[in-house]
Amino acid sequence: MTAGAGVGEPRNSRTGDLARRLVRSEALPLAFAAAWVGAVAVVEPAVLTRRNLENVGLAALPLLLAAVGQLFVLVVGGIDLSTAAVAGAASVAAGLVMREVPNAAVGVGAVLAVGLGVGLFHGLAVAGLRMPAFLVTLATSSAVAGGAVWATRSQKLAGLPEGFLSLGWQGDLFGVRSSVWVAAAVVVVAHLVLARTVFGRQLYAVGLNAATARVSGVPVGRRIAAAFAVSGVCAAVAGLMLAARQKAAAADLWRADVLLDVLGAAVIGGASLRGGRGTVLGVVVGVAVIALIGNTLTLLDLDSWHVTMAKGGLIFLAAGLDILRTRGDRR
> Model confidence at 12, in pLDDT bands (50, 70, 90)?
low
Query: What percentage of residues in the chain have a pLDDT greater than 70?
Result: 89
Would you give the distance in Å from CA 179 to the centre of its chain?
A: 16
Residues 190, 68 contacting (CB under 8 angstroms): yes
Q: How far apart are CA 73 and CA 187, in angstroms?
A: 15
pLDDT at 24: 59
> Model confidence at 13, in pLDDT bands (50, 70, 90)?
low
pLDDT at 1: 46
Q: Report helix, strand or coil for 188.
A: helix
Domains of the chain (ranges; CATH) run: 25-324 (1.10.3470)
Query: Which is it for the CA torsion 164, 167, 171, 177, positive or negative?
Result: negative
Residues 202, 223 contacting (CB under 8 angstroms): yes
**pLDDT tens, residue by residue, 14-51:** 655 555 565 556 667 778 778 888 888 888 888 889 89
Q: CB under 8 Å to 164, separation ≥6 — which residues?
A: 94, 98, 104, 107, 108, 240, 243, 244
**pLDDT tens, residue by residue, 218-243:** 999 999 999 999 999 999 999 999 99
Q: Report helix, strand or coil for 226.
A: helix
**pLDDT tens, residue by residue, 124-162:** 999 999 999 999 999 999 999 999 999 999 899 998 898
pLDDT at 327: 64
Mean pLDDT of 66-75: 97
- CA-based nearest residue to 122, from 103, 143, 106: 143
Please say if the pLDDT value at position 9 is more than 80: no
pLDDT at 28: 73
Cα distance between the two ends of the chain? 27
pLDDT at 29: 76
Helical residues (DSSP H) of 60-153, grouped into ranges: 61-75, 83-100, 104-123, 133-152
Outline where DSSP puts E strands in the chain: 172-173, 176-177
Q: How far apart are CA 297 and CA 37, in angstroms?
A: 10
Residues 286, 303 contacting (CB under 8 angstroms): no
How many Cβ atoms from other residues are within 10 Å of residue 65's Cβ? 30
pTM check: above 0.95: no
- CA-based nearest residue to 231, from 58, 81, 53: 81
- CA-based nearest residue to 233, from 101, 21, 98, 80: 80
Please say if the pLDDT value at position 257 is more than 80: no
pLDDT at 308: 81
